[in-house]
Amino acid sequence: MPLPDLWLGVLAENLTEDWRHGGFGLYVHWPFCEAKCPYCDFNSHVVAHVDQTRWARALVSEVERVARLTPGRVLNSVFFGGGTPSLMAPETVAAVLDAVRRSWTLANDVEITLEANPRSVEAGRFRGYADAGVNRVSMGIQSLRNDDLRRLGRLHDVGEAQKAFDVARSVFDRVSFDLIYARQDQTLEDWRVELREALSMAVDHLSLYQLTIEPGTAFGDRAQRGRLKGLPEDGLAADMYDLTQELCDAAGMPAYEVSNHAAPGSESRHNLVYWHYGDYAGVGPGAHGRLTVDGIKYATEAWTAPGKWIEAVEQGSGDSLFEGLSGADQSGEYTMMGLRVNEGLDVERIRQMSAQALPDAACQSLEEMGLLWRDSGRAGVTRRGRLLLNSVIAELLP
Amino acid sequence: MTQLSHIRNFSIVAHIDHGKSTLADRLIQSTNTVTAREMKEQLLDSMDIERERGITIKANTVRIEYKAEDGETYILNLIDTPGHVDFAYEVSRSMRAVEGSLLVVDATQGVEAQTLANVYTAIDANHEIVPVLNKIDLPAAEVERVKEQIEDVIGIDASDSCLISAKTGVGIPSVLEAIVKRLPPPKEGDPDKPLKAMLVDSKYDPYLGVVVIVRVIDGVLKKGQRIKMMKTGGTYDIDRIGVYRPAMMEVKELGPGEIGYITAQIKQVRDTRVGDTITTEKKGCETPLPGFKPSIPVVFCGLFPVDANDFEDMRDAIEKLSLNDASFTSEMETSAALGFGFRCGFLGLLHLEVVRDRLEREYDIDLITTAPSVIYKIFLRDGSEIELHNPADMPDPSTIDHIEEPRIKASILVPDDYLGDVLKLCQDRRGEQLDLTYVGARAMVVYDLPLNEVVFDFYDRLKSVSKGYASFDYQMIGYREDYLVKMQILVNDEPVDALSTMVHRDRAEMRGRAMVEKLKDLIPRHMFKIPIQAAIGGKVIARETLAAMRKDVTAKCYGGDASRKKKLLEKQKAGKKRMRQFGKVDIPQEAFISALKMDS
């Protein structure tokens, strides 16, 4: 029997919806940590006890609510972030993933990532996460130097991290880890040696972040009082970045985004949803989402405080914000996100969002400075442009 | 009309925060001039900027009735005067309108520089001076030491100073008695002679038009009189006469020795000149009061809106400000780089800053201020002469025969500990010493200086090298030829007219070097490297290169960051809007003034 005309219309509309260029992902935020790290400005809280059953129920309820807004979609990825999601009981993860499977069709290559602290306690739960459906872990190793781990306020040491990493490798096919560099008193040589060690450990994916001092963190307060000494000045930080590119390229793990490296084909599917400006649902305290409903793209934001969030969920919805985005908002966000990755922006796509996007004069001047390229309907930043990305984006915003 | 013997006219000389306003409030309050209900703090200061900077720009006056211990009732007129060298002429006029001063010194701080210049103006005006030591209730008060300092530094007898706390009210009666007993009444004044009154100051009131503060010398000011301003020649019919208590209160007439206000349908403050003599149109007095000087702007600069769309608002704002400030001039100007703006003239740099602050704050307009300049006389080869107000208008050097610049005679009083540094400063500014004498432990230095070396930051530097103890006054003495050239600043190879200055050829390298170094710090790094050069004609005399920014990237940016980080980038972009673009380079607003300040 042929489909009714109405259905054809909806299908046609869905095919042209912009988010399809980037896919659809689900972010689940677990807001609890055992200790707060001095550099972290994420929504994380240290509490004595978490009622896992109540939280599992709340997360499931939110997944189901969001699913009702996005019926019939294929889900490309799930990401458990935090906080410290490796403090979740495997049963909690399983409950959420069961709800996910009931709610959407999973893509054949669905990526289900969980962020984990590299400690033995957590490693003991890896098998349980895998059984629940997690197929990738991202480990917050942060440094391969004990002194620096202490300064970064981490609870693990290098030996424990390596053991946990080995466990992860034995359980999951895909394992990534994070390092923080451009740390206090770190020299270019120090970083060269440490990064070589990291590359010898790496499986197929690495996130290498320069230490950023965020306002409102312990480091931010100390920096403001002039008490955070030994941070590299911009020239050294830029040299460290260049060195990182050189070593990672040689090791077959080139950057595919500002701070993310992977063997070709092993890029994080989830993060690409953000950078390709797809749709993503955000579930859990403080989680943000971008959801296209009836052809309109909305920004969503959940209540930040865990207590407030869970009460709101139990009354129907954890969202504190659900706001339509104008074409200009979207083109601005896509510019900011899309220029982070190698393939850059789809020019036709961004002009559909806003005719004012990518002003030609600014593009031309950035091209002349060797910071931007335009080719075959795409625009992206050069390697030098990537290091100046904020300035480049500021030029391109209308 | 009050008998001369029952009038006391006085001013208060004090440093900022030493308690001038509080003392004035107490005098007003303790004589029941205002009711407790009407009393509010700092009755006399009217503008925010006056209060913030601790300076008075417009003279204010208040009439107090006081029943003294001798049983008689006296009329006390207080004039609150401006206190900065830019307004030295206005201060000297206000001082001439009264016979005595209270010298208020904070007993915990001692004498400070600002006090000195004004106390000497008071001495010049033959004032009787009553020292008043304030804040004696504070534990840190050092009454004896401060008395000694007044005697040493100022050279007046401080043995029977009034000891007060304006805050608590202690000693206020002794001040009132001292005003009556120690300050003299007006020396002369005949109600039957032709009218002769001094125009002390004037201000614009949106309801009444121009309100003129006057001090009557001879004759009687009456409502309905047809008066004449002797210098400007304007004639007006008086429609109101009154006194400030401190609110306006109408009276029938003002007789000799009295201070008050008149209104006479005067449209602009410009029509009233401080120091002018007011008389009747018919049967007026023969000779005007001595010492009148028209106020002439000596410092010029361009003011441009940062956002070109604000030009119309700026034009309105400047018109409104001009209504209340006769000494400020403006005419429209167009600059290739800055668009439409105004070339404005000021009495001095503080005056410039006050006007700019008022435009920015009261009218909410962001401004770019170009390099201040004096008026140069340019003598061309064809025998003609032009006045140059703006270095951008400098004619082709090959057509110029010679250039003359204005010079001043500067008198500086400085404790001898700082004399060496002050002499060095004057020498560095191309000064020629005219005189050096000692007054107690203080030196009186007289220098002939080019005005353009003084307009900018001379006063700030002087205060800094003398730890605030030097006082400074100047008068224009004429023009003199010198080897002057126009120095241009090029940023990224483009000349920035707003930064062009006239400099002495011998000092050009030094000034050029200082400016390009300053600009290197003031201009934020860009995505490309920027040469910054100083040049005379086509010749580069100083050069710096601002290196390109190397790293400006957010390390982490995921789904949750889309809104927050985008706001940061938008803020970054908005920050750029407070800058002006020259070619591809954004120059922050403050750079235009800061680049000219010399640190050493």
What is the domain count for chain A?
A: 2
Among B552, B558, B569, select the one facing A397 at the smallest CB separation. Answer: B569
Structure confidence at residue B460 (pLDDT): 77
Q: Give the pLDDT mean for B388-398.
A: 89
Average predicted confidence (pLDDT) for chain A: 93
Question: Is A282 within a domain?
Answer: no
How is residue A199 written in tokens? 């590359």
Assigned CATH for B299-370: 3.30.70.870
Say if residue B112's pLDDT is above 80: no
Q: Which B-chain residues 545-584 have CB contacts (< 8 A) with chain A?
A: 549-563, 565-566, 569-570, 572-573, 576, 584
Structure confidence at residue B253 (pLDDT): 94
Say if residue B251's pLDDT is above 80: yes
From A366-380, B468-482, B516-530, the region with the lowest mean pLDDT: B468-482
Structure confidence at residue B42 (pLDDT): 54
Give yes or no: residues A116 and A242 share one domain.
Answer: yes
Determine contact, residues B544/B528, Cβ cutoff 8 Å. Answer: no
**Percent of chain B scored above 70 by pLDDT?**
92
Question: Best mutation site among B553, B570, B571 for testing chain A: the one with the most A CBs within 10 Å?
Answer: B553
The answer to whether the B299-370 and B486-597 domains have the same CATH topology is: yes
CB pairs under 8 A between A and B: 97
Element (H, E) at B57: none
CA distance linking residue B194 with residue B497, whole number of Å: 55
Q: Give the pLDDT mean for A330-340.
A: 96
Structure confidence at residue A9 (pLDDT): 45
Determine contact, residues B504/B482, Cβ cutoff 8 Å. Answer: yes
User: What is the DSSP annotation of B353-406?
Assistant: HHHHHHHHHHS---EEEPPPB-PEEEEETTS-EEEES-GGGPPPGGGEEEEEEE
Give yes or no: residues A263 and A362 share one domain.
Answer: no
How distant is the Cα of B474 from the closest Cα of chain A, in angstroms? Answer: 44
Q: Across the interface, do B555 and A289 touch by the CB < 8 Å criterion? A: no
Q: Give the pLDDT mean for B69-87.
A: 83
The superfamily in CATH containing domain B486-597 is: Elongation factor 4, C-terminal domain (3.30.70.2570)
CA distance linking residue B425 with residue B454, whole number of Å: 10
Which residue among A274, A302, A329 closes a domain? A274
CATH topology of domain B196-280: Elongation Factor Tu (Ef-tu); domain 3 (2.40.30)
| pLDDT band (50, 70, 90) for residue A91 | very high
Q: Across the interface, do B562 and A392 touch by the CB < 8 Å criterion? A: no
Among A27, A210, A366, select the one facing B555 at the smallest CB separation. Answer: A210
Instruction: Say if residue B510 is exposed, middle or buried (CB neighbours under 10 Å; 0-12, 13-18, 19+).
Output: middle
| pLDDT band (50, 70, 90) for residue A2 | very low
Give yes or no: residues A266 and A147 share one domain.
Answer: yes
Among B559, B565, B569, select the one facing A27 at the smallest CB separation. Answer: B559
CA distance linking residue A226 with residue A216, whole number of Å: 15
The residues of A whose Cβ lies within 8 A of any Cβ of B are: 25, 27, 209-212, 234-235, 237-238, 241, 258-259, 271, 273-274, 280, 282, 286-290, 299, 301, 332-333, 336-337, 340, 365-366, 369, 371, 386-394, 397
| CATH number, domain with residue A103 | 3.20.20.70
CATH topology of domain B376-482: Alpha-Beta Plaits (3.30.70)
Residue-wise pLDDT tens digits, B303-345: 998 888 899 999 999 988 877 777 788 989 887 777 899 999 9
CA distance linking residue B130 with residue B160, whole number of Å: 8
Number of neighbouring beta carbons within 10 Å of residue A15 = 8
Among A301, A390, A397, select the one facing B554 at the smallest CB separation. Answer: A390
Question: Is A392 within a domain?
Answer: yes
Structure confidence at residue A8 (pLDDT): 47
Structure confidence at residue B50 (pLDDT): 54
Say if residue B600's pLDDT is above 50: no
Closest residue on chain B to A301 (Cα): B560
- Give backbone dihedrals phi and psi of B344, rounded to 5 degrees, phi first: -120, 150
Structure confidence at residue B476 (pLDDT): 77
Q: Give the pLDDT mean for B230-248.
A: 92
pLDDT: which is higher, B86 or B462: B462
Question: Is A110 within a domain?
Answer: yes
Give yes or no: residues A112 and A251 share one domain.
Answer: yes
Q: Across the interface, do B527 and A369 touch by the CB < 8 Å criterion? A: yes
Closest residue on chain A to B557 (Cα): A337
Average predicted confidence (pLDDT) for chain B: 87
Question: Residue B584: its chain A contacts at CB < 8 A?
Answer: 365
Number of neighbouring beta carbons within 10 Å of residue B544 = 17
Give yes or no: residues A261 and A352 share one domain.
Answer: no
User: How many residues belong to chain A?
Assistant: 398
Nearest to B593, CA basis, from B233, B349, B365 = B349
Cα separation values, B20 from A163, B37, B114, B171, Å: 75, 22, 13, 15
Binding residues of B for GTP are 17-22, 134-137
| pLDDT band (50, 70, 90) for residue A12 | very low
Question: Residue A273: its chain B contacts at CB < 8 A?
Answer: 559
Give yes or no: residues A64 and A211 share one domain.
Answer: yes
| pLDDT band (50, 70, 90) for residue B124 | confident
CA distance linking residue B27 with residue B180, whole number of Å: 13
Which residue among A226, A246, A274 closes a domain? A274
Among B557, B569, B573, select the one facing A340 at the smallest CB separation. Answer: B557
Q: Give the pLDDT mean for A251-274.
A: 97
Single-letter code of the amino acid located at B105: V
Q: Give the pLDDT mean for B171-191.
A: 94
Structure confidence at residue A216 (pLDDT): 87
Assigned CATH for B4-182: 3.40.50.300
Structure confidence at residue B416 (pLDDT): 86
Domain limits for position A76: 5-274
Domain boundary assignment for chain B? 4-182, 196-280, 299-370, 376-482, 486-597
From A30-34, A160-164, B174-178, B353-357, the region with the lowest mean pLDDT: B353-357
Structure confidence at residue B561 (pLDDT): 85
Say if residue B46's pLDDT is above 60: no
pLDDT: which is higher, B8 or B437: B8
Q: Three-state DSSP class for A312? A: helix
Question: Best mutation site among A393, A395, A396, A397 for testing chain B: the one with the most B CBs within 10 Å?
Answer: A393
Say if residue A60's pLDDT is above 60: yes
Give yes or no: residues A75 and A203 share one domain.
Answer: yes
Structure confidence at residue A266 (pLDDT): 96
Question: Is A232 within a domain?
Answer: yes
Question: Best mutation site among B526, B529, B558 for testing chain A: the one with the most A CBs within 10 Å?
Answer: B558
Structure confidence at residue A1 (pLDDT): 44
Q: Across the interface, do A388 and B551 touch by the CB < 8 Å criterion? A: yes
**Model pTM score:** 0.69
Residue-wise pLDDT tens digits, A137-168: 999 999 999 999 999 999 899 999 999 999 99
pLDDT: which is higher, A145 or B124: A145
Say if residue B456's pLDDT is above 80: no
CA distance linking residue B370 with residue A259, whole number of Å: 44
Number of neighbouring beta carbons within 10 Å of residue A213 = 16
Q: Give the pLDDT mean for B491-516.
A: 91
CA distance linking residue B255 with residue B253, whole number of Å: 7
Closest residue on chain B to A234 (Cα): B551
Question: Is A36 within a domain?
Answer: yes
| pLDDT band (50, 70, 90) for residue A4 | very low
CA distance linking residue B325 with residue B335, whole number of Å: 26
With a CB cutoff of 8 Å and minimum separation 6, the contacts of B429 are: B449, B450, B453, B454, B458
Question: CB contact, 8 Å: B529 with chain A?
Answer: no
With a CB cutoff of 8 Å and minimum separation 6, the contacts of B93 are: B198, B200, B201, B274, B275, B291
Structure confidence at residue B369 (pLDDT): 84
Say if residue B114's pLDDT is above 80: no
CA distance linking residue A108 with residue A75, whole number of Å: 9
Question: Is A240 within a domain?
Answer: yes
Give yes or no: residues A91 and A210 share one domain.
Answer: yes
Give yes or no: residues A267 and A350 share one domain.
Answer: no
Determine contact, residues B300/B345, Cβ cutoff 8 Å. Answer: yes
How is residue B70 written in tokens? 């001798």
Closest residue on chain B to A395 (Cα): B573
Structure confidence at residue A37 (pLDDT): 86
Q: Across the interface, do A288 and B563 touch by the CB < 8 Å criterion? A: yes
